[in-house]
Chains A and B, each alone.
Chain A
Amino acid sequence: MLKEELFARIWERFGTLIILLSLILIVSLLSPYFFTVDNLMQVVVQSSIFMLIGMAELFAILTAGIDLSVGSIIALTGAVMAKMMAAGWGILPSVLVGGIGLGALLGSINGTLIAVTELPPFIITLGGLTVYRGITLVITEGRPIYNYPYEFNIIFAGQWKGIPSPILVVVIAGVITHIFLKYTKTGRNIYAIGGNVKAAWLSGVRVKTHLIVAYTMSGLLSGVAALIMVARVAAAEPLAGTGYELFAIASTVIGGTSFFGGIGNVPGTIIGALVIGVINNALNILNVQTYYQQIVSGLVIIGTVYANKILIRRGEK
């Protein structure tokens, strides 16, 4: 095997990890406060939402689509869940119905519209982004909801045997998602659709059904992200998750997911989310003004994805 080809293969598999480790190394050299157990744990917890919505986005992008509505689904499911709890529904039913269940429902609406109208997913989920946000503002009347049982926050933002609950939630969701994509036929078919929708269809793959499944999973995972979002803020904010589609897309794309569909996985997406988490955390520690943080994040996202592209392609020649 050629040296370049070998390099490309290694990069394809471990590239994002190499970027993450280099970032950690650089930030550790710049600040003594970064590489501590407490802070690193903090980074992971802060990234947990990105990991969840990154996986949500992974489903959409694997089918060669996109889901712009993840942030709005976080807000809407968070608000409904908080309202249900405040109305005395109890934590578990509210989480299952108002959070995860509603998330799945909203995602399935996106998926059904995409499958039926055959409009670009970009358009449908752009519509979803504003409609779901609008519904959130209507039902919350624009005000945060925090009159629900405080135990909820303790459960989803606290710890279990020393492990922060957001991390536990991510691990459970990540393992299930990984198994679903890699070891079930439904997952395999989702990859097939993204790889070549015509060939998949002619081989008997039910394209519309699988599109609906993919967007339902995307909505469901956004609903799970809402649990952590609400618990960490200790309120269901009507504007929660605004602009998060950017982090979701960035996490999965930095993690090696191809915009053309059919390529990408959960471990890559998790590492991609950590890259964003590290950048955000480092900019805080280094006292970079919030306004500049956005500029830097944007540039790092472009840089990382570009590095992926040229380094992998180098070996394909």
Chain B
Amino acid sequence: MATNTEIVKLESIRKEFPGVVALDGVSFSLKKGEIHALVGENGAGKSTLIKILAGIYTPTSGKITVKGKTYTHLTPSIARDLGIAVVHQELSVIDTQTVAEALFMGEITQGAGFISWKKMNTISRNFLSSLGLDLPVQQSVGSLTIAQKQLLEIARAVFQNADIVVMDEPTSSLSEAEVEFLFNVIKNLKSKGVSIIYISHRLSEVKEIADEVTVLRDGKVTGNLKRGEIDIDRIVSYMVGRKLSFKYGSHQEFRQKKMENRRIGSEILKVEHLKSGKKVKDVTFELREGEILGLFGVVGSGRTETLKAIIGAGKKDGGTIILHGQPIRLRSPYYSVKKDIGFVPEDRRYEGLIFTFNLSQNISLPTFVKRAILGMFGWVEKKLEKMLASSAIEKLRIKTPGIDSRVDALSGGNQQKVVIGKWLFSNSKILILDEPTRGIDVGAKEEIYNLILELASSGISVIFSSSELPEILMLCDRVVVFNAGRTVATFDVDSVTETEILRAATT
């Protein structure tokens, strides 16, 4: 088979968002029947590139050539007509449909306006088995496993005539055996001439499946490896070296500040061999008083689930949690709040804020829970509420029209400060932050880093979970590395290289 025809060619693609350059002169080419891996840390520009290819974003400048035709930008419908399909991490198949229905996706009228189930099922069965897939076509999608759903979604893209398939982190929720199976399907597709862009954080998988690897960092291509030269160490070396951007201060100033007024005490929390659901297999780490402990791992490595299991918001299937030397079992977040543990969730809109509450009501919620008998009885202390809100606004520099303004009108950074503010004045001893800087602008990020430092120097112990290595390296004292539900290494941040951490997290 001729695999040298270039089917997609992106040339000098640049994409600017207000205040950020997401892609800076990226060139990328995909050949027919090739599996081309796209690798890079969070924020490196992978998603932006994919969205440009799918016609969702219009590049600021650059050329896109698909199947010999050149465009300045694509639209979702042009992309579809060109045979480009993206299979996302979040699955889009509908649970109540049958497998055959999902495959046909609306185009099911066969004969006099009625659905011919028999015909649909036969076509589906034949098609799926041609890919080496043996899915029950008459069963509902809801009865499939996540891996099967993912395969169905890939099959559907091809069934709908896509021959350029982008797979975004397809293995993040699959077991090893399922990954093997997925790889067989991918190889099968390749032999049929389908070209695949394969996005993954798992470098060992990339090494196994990819014909070519392109590494992105800070919106630029930093490396390109062909089959035969693909080597994990080389990939990692292209990934490292990201710089955090500062708006107010500089890296040096921050490093200096980090060391001031810090006293790290004895162990306060210890997690041993924690197991929770499918995502957390064996997690062990300890947190010391006044320490900022980083939890690093790629998306889907089980950090969020670990944190939720610790505070009692997720099930705990095994292991011990030791707080102040005592083994404890926190049955729900109420008990962790009572034990002075604060939790800032990853998703502030759905888990952090109450949009029917104003700013001061949001901030006072955990304080009131703590001060009330059994978490419920007692008067709403209006004076205290006002005091909490105004000190939070002042200390966190929340930009808001007033203490009783609606939180949905605030910017992302200010909303995040409100969520952090809930815990600051409720006397928390341990503050757990899950991706606290996600989706907020550079200035607000910097303010949050400074705030975390201030908290740590006041004696609060902080767990800072992030998929952004540069911020972990800058802010944390130690880092615990997660890989597929296990803690694989713990490093002192000052005596470790980025490469070592990335290697541990991705292989």
Interface residues, chain A, with chain B CB atoms under 8 Å away: 182-189, 191-192, 194-196, 198-206, 209-210, 213, 258, 261-263
Q: Is the CB of B357 within 8 A of A191?
A: yes
Q: Is the CB of A263 within 8 A of B356?
A: yes
Nearest Cβ on chain B to A38's Cβ, whole angstroms: 41
Q: Which of B352, B372, B375 contacts A199 (CB 8 A)?
A: B352
Q: Is the CB of B380 within 8 A of A204?
A: no
Rounded to whole angstroms, the CA-CA distance of A209 and B338 in the bound complex is 16
Knowing A183-B379, A184-B380, A185-B380, say if A202 contacts B343 (CB, 8 Å). yes
Q: Which of B338, B350, B355, B376 contacts A186 (CB 8 A)?
A: B376
Interchain Cβ contacts under 8 Å between A and B, 13 examples: A184-B378, A186-B372, A186-B376, A187-B380, A189-B368, A195-B357, A199-B345, A199-B350, A199-B353, A199-B354, A203-B365, A204-B369, A205-B369
Residues of B within 8 A of A258 (CB): 356
Interface string of B366-404 (1 = CB under 8 A from A): 101111101111111000000000000000000000000
Q: Which of B311, B337, B351, B377 contacts A185 (CB 8 A)?
A: B377
Residues of B within 8 A of A209 (CB): 374-376
Rounded to whole angstroms, the CA-CA distance of A138 and B488 in the bound complex is 66
* Interface hits, B320-340 → A, CB 8 Å: 332-334, 336-338
Give the interface SS of chain A, mostly helix, strand, loop or mixed: helix
Closest to B337 in A: A204
Q: Which of B311, B350, B375, B377 contacts A196 (CB 8 A)?
A: B350
Residues of A within 8 A of B380 (CB): 182-185, 187-188
Closest to A188 in B: B380
Q: Which 5 A-B pairs have the closest CB atoms?
A: A204-B337, A195-B356, A262-B356, A195-B354, A204-B369
Nearest Cβ on chain A to B307's Cβ, whole angstroms: 11
Rounded to whole angstroms, the CA-CA distance of A202 and B371 in the bound complex is 16
Q: Is the CB of B354 within 8 A of A200?
A: yes
Q: Is the CB of A184 within 8 A of B354?
A: no
* Interface hits, B406-436 → A, CB 8 Å: 422
Q: Is the CB of B366 within 8 A of A203?
A: yes
Task: Check: B121 CB closer than 8 A to any chain A CB.
Answer: no
Q: Is the CB of A204 within 8 A of B376?
A: no
Rounded to whole angstroms, the CA-CA distance of A33 and B313 in the bound complex is 61
Q: Which of A185, A194, A201, A261 contacts B372 (CB 8 A)?
A: A185
Nearest Cβ on chain A to B422's Cβ, whole angstroms: 6
Rounded to whole angstroms, the CA-CA distance of A183 and B353 in the bound complex is 21
Q: Is the CB of B379 within 8 A of A203?
A: no
Residues of B within 8 A of A201 (CB): 313, 332-333
Rounded to whole angstroms, the CA-CA distance of A212 and B371 in the bound complex is 21
Residues of A within 8 A of B356 (CB): 191, 194-196, 258, 261-263
Q: Which of A184, A194, A210 contacts B379 (CB 8 A)?
A: A184
Interface string of B212-225 (1 = CB under 8 A from A): 00000000000000
Rounded to whole angstroms, the CA-CA distance of A204 and B376 in the bound complex is 10
Task: Check: B276 CB closer than 8 A to any chain A CB.
Answer: no
Q: Is the CB of B334 within 8 A of A192?
A: no
Q: Is the CB of A200 within 8 A of B355?
A: no
Residues of A within 8 A of B374 (CB): 206, 209
Nearest Cβ on chain A to B407's Cβ, whole angstroms: 10
Residues of A within 8 A of B354 (CB): 192, 195-196, 199-200, 262
Q: Is the CB of A184 within 8 A of B377?
A: yes
Q: Is the CB of A206 within 8 A of B357?
A: no
Task: Check: B171 CB closer than 8 A to any chain A CB.
Answer: no
Rounded to whole angstroms, the CA-CA distance of A11 and B332 in the bound complex is 40
Known pairs A188-B368, A196-B351, A204-B333 / 10 extra A-B pairs, C-beta < 8 Å: A184-B377, A184-B379, A187-B380, A191-B356, A195-B354, A202-B345, A204-B334, A204-B336, A258-B356, A263-B356
Rounded to whole angstroms, the CA-CA distance of A203 and B333 in the bound complex is 7
Rounded to whole angstroms, the CA-CA distance of A201 and B336 in the bound complex is 11
Residues of A within 8 A of B379 (CB): 183-185
Residues of A within 8 A of B375 (CB): 189, 204-206, 209
Task: Check: B306 CB closer than 8 A to any chain A CB.
Answer: no
Q: Which of A185, A202, A206 gathers the greatest number of chain B CB atoms within 10 Å?
A: A202
Q: Is the CB of B351 within 8 A of A202?
A: yes
Q: Which of A187, A204, A261 contacts B366 (CB 8 A)?
A: A204
Q: Which of A200, A206, A213 gathers the greatest number of chain B CB atoms within 10 Å?
A: A206
Residues of A within 8 A of B422 (CB): 203
Q: Is the CB of B351 within 8 A of A199?
A: yes
Rounded to whole angstroms, the CA-CA distance of A251 and B432 in the bound complex is 43
Closest to A202 in B: B333
Q: Which of A182, A189, A198 contacts B376 (CB 8 A)?
A: A189
* Interface hits, B276-335 → A, CB 8 Å: 311, 313, 332-334
Rounded to whole angstroms, the CA-CA distance of A233 and B337 in the bound complex is 51
Task: Check: B490 CB closer than 8 A to any chain A CB.
Answer: no
Nearest Cβ on chain A to B358's Cβ, whole angstroms: 11
Rounded to whole angstroms, the CA-CA distance of A191 and B354 in the bound complex is 10
Interface string of B440-458 (1 = CB under 8 A from A): 0000000000000000000
Residues of B within 8 A of A194 (CB): 356
Rounded to whole angstroms, the CA-CA distance of A198 and B333 in the bound complex is 11
Rounded to whole angstroms, the CA-CA distance of A184 and B353 in the bound complex is 20
Residues of A within 8 A of B371 (CB): 185
Residues of B within 8 A of A203 (CB): 333, 337, 365-366, 369, 422
Q: Is the CB of B357 within 8 A of A205?
A: no
Task: Check: B150 CB closer than 8 A to any chain A CB.
Answer: no
Residues of A within 8 A of B334 (CB): 204-206
Task: Check: B461 CB closer than 8 A to any chain A CB.
Answer: no
Q: Is the CB of A192 within 8 A of B366?
A: no
Closest to B357 in A: A195
Q: Which of A185, A189, A194, A195 gathers the greatest number of chain B CB atoms within 10 Å?
A: A185
Rounded to whole angstroms, the CA-CA distance of A170 and B379 in the bound complex is 23
Residues of B within 8 A of A200 (CB): 354, 365
